[in-house]
A = this chain, B = another copy of it.
């Protein structure tokens, strides 16, 4: 079992026709359970998106720790629920949101997750994802992602720099995305 310490990774799957779909982003603090291997062959891959620092925990260490510290077990379980909520939100995005809504929604999600782990500064946060990666996560083309980002920039809701995003008008972004932060179950760290 792995835990991201620095940098980003993603879960992905390559289809027979060669296209890639990213199913989740792993940010610092996220656990990356490869235990799926035990059940059957892995049904998807995991790869880093940036250079990253990763902690490795053996199955034995993990179960020992979870038995000894029920709080940790509870936290892991809670994190799992959040991950599921994120997956459901992605399904909703891919199914029923337009491209600009999808992009806006992902930005909202990533910003709040960065906020939760203390990686934001005045509406700005690191987002080291190339447009190709964003496209593969959102089920779109890199070309079209580019146009959508341009539109969001022209609407004045955000600004892009190399590997970081600044939310200029968060309210507007939330409104475009139809974002409801409920599913991230943020209960602590309300401070900005």
Contact = CB atoms under 8 A, between A and B. Distances in A.
A163 interface: no
21 contacts: A13-B92, A15-B97, A20-B96, A21-B92, A23-B91, A23-B92, A36-B81, A36-B85, A39-B81, A39-B187, A40-B182, A41-B182, A43-B85, A43-B89, A43-B182, A84-B84, A84-B87, A87-B87, A91-B91, A91-B94, A95-B138
Interface string A11-23: 1010111011101
Given A84-B87, A178-B15, A183 B43 contact: yes
A94 B23 contact: no
Contacts of A15: 92, 96-97, 178
Contacts of A47: none
Given A13-B92, A43-B88, 18 more contacts: A15-B96, A19-B96, A20-B96, A21-B96, A23-B92, A36-B85, A39-B81, A39-B187, A40-B182, A40-B187, A43-B182, A43-B183, A44-B88, A83-B84, A84-B84, A87-B91, A91-B91, A94-B94
Interface string A73-100: 0000010110111011111101111000
A88 B13 contact: yes
A153 interface: no
A53 interface: no
Interface of A: 11, 13, 15-17, 19-21, 23-24, 36, 39-41, 43-44, 78, 80-81, 83-85, 87-92, 94-97, 136, 138-139, 178, 180, 182-183, 185, 187
A78 B39 contact: yes
B23 A88 contact: yes
Contacts of A44: 88, 183
Contacts of A91: 21, 23, 87, 90-91, 94
- Tell which of A17, A41, A183 has the most Cβ of chain B within 10 Å: A183
